[in-house]
């Protein structure tokens, strides 16, 4: 599947592993939440970056103790109508200050791309090459937003008033 990161289609540096696959000693891996939670210390002790695919029906509190050691958290959109991963993304960015890669997986649709960016996602696993190219272009199209969100951009009203993100005068 194509991966969009930083407005470009990129190669994925992580190998997605099924639960029955053996875990390599080196290199970046992307594993399920269930597999990760079965042995988080052992998985994090290996030589290589670790990413976890976190379902949207699972409590983030189970993941929080390990956040600082995870390179990627993949949040799942099982259907285009199910937006719980938006809330998870905002919670990870705003409440837990997660600065690693937040990856949108599952039903990642081009008409929801800007909303995903605004929620704090920075990487998108899409199903079609044509969607990947469209996603890369959409991010460049919008530079100013009215609502404050988890992506760290200064909203228009703060710009207009001359305030920065923290609310202090520049």
pLDDT at 46: 92
pLDDT tens-digit series, residues 36-87: 999 999 999 999 999 999 999 999 999 999 999 999 999 999 988 898 999 9
Q: Which two tokens stand for residue 131?
A: 């969607």
What is the distance, to the nearest Å, from the Cα of residue 109 to the centroid of all Cα atoms in its chain? 15
Assess whether pLDDT exceeds 70 at residue 150.
no
Non-local (6+) Cβ contacts of 60 within 8 A are 54, 88, 91, 92, 96
pLDDT at 170: 44
| Whole-angstrom distance, CA of residue 100 vs CA of residue 7 | 17
**Number of residues that make up the chain:** 170
What is residue 74's three-state secondary structure? strand
pLDDT tens-digit series, residues 1-13: 788 887 788 899 9
CB atoms within 10 A of CB 30: 23
pLDDT at 136: 66
In the predicted model, what is the mean pLDDT of residues 91-113? 90
Domains of the chain (ranges, CATH numbers): 3-143 (3.20.20.70)
Share of the chain above pLDDT 70, in %: 85
């Amino acid at each position: 599947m194509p991966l969009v990161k930083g407005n470009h289609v990129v190669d994925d540096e992580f190998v997605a592993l099924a639960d029955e696959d053996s875990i390599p000693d080196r290199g970046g891996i992307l594993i399920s939440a269930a597999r990760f939670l079965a042995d988080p210390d052992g998985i994090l002790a290996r030589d290589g970056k670790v990413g976890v695919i976190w379902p949207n029906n699972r409590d983030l509190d189970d993941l929080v103790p390990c956040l600082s050691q995870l390179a990627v958290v993949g949040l799942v959109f099982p259907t285009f109508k199910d937006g719980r991963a938006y809330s998870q993304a905002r919670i990870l960015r705003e409440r837990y200050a997660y600065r690693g890669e937040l990856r949108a997986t599952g039903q990642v649709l081009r008409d929801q791309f800007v909303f995903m960016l605004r929620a704090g996602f920075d990487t998108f696993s899409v199903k079609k090459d044509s969607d990947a190219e469209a996603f890369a272009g959409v991010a460049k199209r919008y530079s100013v937003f009215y609502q404050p969100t988890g992506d760290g951009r200064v909203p228009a009203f703060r710009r207009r008033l001359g305030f920065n993100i923290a609310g202090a005068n520049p």
